[in-house]
């Protein structure tokens, strides 16, 4: 069993402990009378071991004090080990919340379906830092990178269309997400960009933002959300249902530039499978570290010290009470 000590500074008390032992030996040598005889043959009948036993009392006391010093140093065992797997992955999710995300080809609509599947994805990755960026006509950070997934999910649930000016600024959303993860020291930096439209707002070109992501080693998975053709919409357009318009060439290009992948999700089940595939691709173990649990072990030393002191007291006032 391997021991470590939480308060090793108390071992300096052994200096005083050693000084006490030295002083006791010096004192006994000085006070004890000395008599030289030619033979012990005539003393065999009157010599006993009892005078020697009085030194045993001092030995018991000093062993007890040594154990007390060990107790003060707080011994801890480190023979119990716990394996902890570290993914080493930081993930930023960039979510389109434009008005078109209210289309009802997903149940109940595209945005709510995307939020539900994303929160399931988050719950399956407890070791990763994950953040959330939202965008429509503008973009802002809803949650920075965090391991507090409960807080992240709460912020996710609070997202709704109309929070910011409408439109689809893919480049701005991508650039904002890059800014949030670029300084990360994680082994792997990942971004998941989900949209159902075409870049039509913002001052940053999506391709330029993708080049910046590539420079910082950020892998971007892009997801185009929406059924093919038209989709039912809460507010009827003059032409009836809303037409699905996804710039798939742009999303494919962003993914290819950053060594990611492009996915097309046309319904709830398909979207869930997309996130399951991303989860599988990003499950490779980066490193495995061993962390050991420490258990307090001072109790056994404290009990031994108490028993030795009790034994010394019992001997002093019983068997050895008449010794000088």
Average pLDDT over the chain reads 85
pLDDT of 39 reads 57
Residues 197, 100: contact at Cβ < 8 Å?
Answer: yes
The torsion defined by the Cα of 265, 276, 152 and 256, in degrees rounded to 10, comes to -60
Spacing of C-alpha 53 from chain mean position: 57
In this structure, is residue 42 part of a structural domain?
Answer: no
User: Are residue 74 and residue 137 in the same domain, yes or no?
Assistant: no
User: Are residue 136 and residue 268 in the same domain, yes or no?
Assistant: yes
Domain that holds residue 215: 88-284
pLDDT of 240 reads 64
User: Are residue 312 and residue 187 in the same domain, yes or no?
Assistant: no
Counting the structural domains of the chain, the total is 2
User: Are residue 55 and residue 104 in the same domain, yes or no?
Assistant: no
User: Are residue 298 and residue 275 in the same domain, yes or no?
Assistant: no
Q: How far apart are CA 35 and CA 51, in angstroms?
A: 16
User: Are residue 65 and residue 111 in the same domain, yes or no?
Assistant: no
pLDDT of 297 reads 85
User: Are residue 59 and residue 176 in the same domain, yes or no?
Assistant: no
Secondary structure (DSSP) of 220-265:
EEEEEES-SSEE--SS-BTTBSEEP---HHHHHHHHHHTT--EEEE
In this structure, is residue 271 part of a structural domain?
Answer: yes
User: Are residue 179 and residue 65 in the same domain, yes or no?
Assistant: no
- For residue 103, what is the domain's CATH number? 3.40.50.410
User: Are residue 210 and residue 164 in the same domain, yes or no?
Assistant: yes
Pick from 124, 260, 128, 250: nearest CA to 191:
260
pLDDT of 119 reads 95
pLDDT of 290 reads 47
pLDDT of 234 reads 84
Residues of the chain where predicted confidence (pLDDT) is lower than 70: 1-2, 31-54, 78-88, 236-240, 283-293, 322-324
Query: Against a cut of 0.75, is the pTM above it?
Result: no
User: Are residue 176 and residue 235 in the same domain, yes or no?
Assistant: yes
Which tens digits make up the pLDDT trace of 275-305? 999 988 886 544 444 445 677 888 989 999 8
User: Are residue 70 and residue 113 in the same domain, yes or no?
Assistant: no
């Amino acid at each position: 069993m391997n021991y470590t000590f939480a308060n090793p500074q108390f071992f300096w008390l052994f200096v005083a402990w050693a000084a006490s032992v030295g002083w006791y030996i010096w004192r006994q040598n000085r006070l004890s009378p000395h008599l030289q005889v030619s033979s012990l043959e005539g003393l065999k009948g009157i010599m006993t071991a009892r005078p020697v036993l009085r030194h045993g009392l001092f030995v018991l006391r000093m062993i007890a004090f040594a154990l007390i010093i060990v107790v003060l140093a707080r011994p801890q065992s480190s023979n119990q080990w716990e394996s902890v797997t570290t993914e080493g992955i930081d993930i930023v999710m960039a979510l389109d919340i434009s008005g078109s995300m209210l289309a009802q080809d997903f149940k109940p609509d595209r945005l709510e379906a995307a939020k539900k599947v994303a929160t399931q994805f988050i719950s399956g990755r407890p070791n990763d830092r994950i953040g959330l960026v939202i965008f429509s006509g503008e973009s802002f950070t809803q949650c920075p990178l965090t391991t507090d997934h409960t807080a992240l999910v709460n912020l996710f649930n609070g997202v709704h269309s109309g929070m910011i000016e409408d439109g689809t600024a893919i480049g701005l959303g991508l650039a904002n997400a890059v800014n949030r993860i670029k300084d990360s020291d994680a082994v792997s930096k990942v971004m998941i960009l989900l949209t159902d439209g075409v870049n039509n707002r913002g001052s940053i070109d999506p391709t330029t933002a993708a080049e910046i992501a590539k420079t910082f080693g950020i892998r971007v998975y892009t997801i185009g959300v929406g059924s093919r053709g038209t989709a039912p919409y809460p507010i009827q357009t003059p032409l009836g249902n809303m037409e699905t318009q996804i710039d798939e060439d742009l999303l494919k290009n962003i993914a290819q530039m950053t060594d990611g992948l492009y996915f097309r999700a046309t319904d709830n089940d398909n979207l869930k499978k997309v996130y399951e595939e991303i989860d599988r691709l990003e499950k490779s173990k980066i490193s495995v570290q061993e962390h050991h649990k420490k258990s307090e072990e001072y109790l056994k030393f404290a009990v031994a010290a108490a028993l030795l002191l009790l034994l010394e007291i019992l001997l002093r006032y019983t068997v050895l009470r008449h010794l000088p």
